[in-house]
Amino acid sequence: MTELAGVGAKKAQGLAALGITTVLDLLMHYPRRYVDRTNQARIADLALGEEAMVLGRVRRAHARRTRNGRSLVETDVTDGSGYLRCTFFNQAWRANQLKVGASAVFFGKLEEFRGRRQMTNPVVDLVGDRTGRIVPIYPQSEKAGLSTWELGDWVEEALTRAGEFLDPVPTDVLARFGLTDRTAALRGIHFPARPTTIAPPGAGWCSTSCCGSSSCSSGASASWRPPPSVWPTTWRATWWHGSTSVCPSP
């Protein structure tokens, strides 16, 4: 992993905490959801009581203690159409995460308190400055000091350096069962050009290095793994050191 730009000893340790020790692990660390920044919901259009996901920029952040001693972090967020207050109880570390100017995705239930729209303890994902595209949101660990845009950058570099993947499934079999080839599947999962190109793991995913879904349209065994001969040949062997433990020969 340390051959990727920006991955030093500390980041490598954080990645290991997520179970990512090889580039193969990284590519199998799928996004948990996506944000369509080309067609996103506006704060001004949200209805009270609605669970929603909005993308906004932090305009103000304030941390304090309540009367009963609980930590309270309040952030004011805007997307240009309106303002939203996000309130976090017993999450003092949010003050360091959500600094003024940070762009983030907030997912929660829209409420109103004292005439102000707000979300209480919403789920937060920092997304950086990726604009005009479908943004993958990766499972991340705050304690590991990793952000979703860092994971996205590393995945993007890995896919670029890999080029075309060798595919264990013959072209005629892919066509017969309507499967996606390995290269297209990986790129479609991590960086879909539009919502319709998102390739869900398991659906047409058997040509990749892990068929992990019982819903796979080809009916292949979920325990099947390709031999090392189908791994990318354009990468240095050290990138895949240790990967045979998760990809044994069938």
Domains of the chain: 9-35+145-243 (no CATH), 38-126 (2.40.50.140)
pTM for the model stands at 0.57
Q: Report the helix count and the strand count for the chain, using DSSP H and E.
A: 6, 9
Among 64, 77, 63, which residue's Cα sits nearest to residue 119?
Answer: 77
Rounded to an integer, what distance in angstroms lies between the CA atom of residue 10 and that of residue 205?
33
pLDDT of residue 155: 92
Alpha-carbon separation of residue 238 from 3, 24, 83 (angstroms): 9, 11, 49
- pLDDT tens-digit map of 165-210: 888 899 999 999 988 898 998 988 888 876 655 555 443 333 343 3
pLDDT of residue 78: 95
- pLDDT tens-digit map of 34-90: 877 666 678 999 999 988 888 899 999 999 999 898 999 999 999 999 999 999 999
Contacts of 69 (CB under 8 A, 6+ apart): none
pLDDT of residue 244: 34
CA of residue 117 relative to chain centroid, distance: 27
Pair 155, 26: CB distance under 8 Å: yes
Phi and psi, residue 104, nearest 5° = -150, 160
- Average pLDDT over the chain, rounded to an integer: 76
Length of the chain equals 250
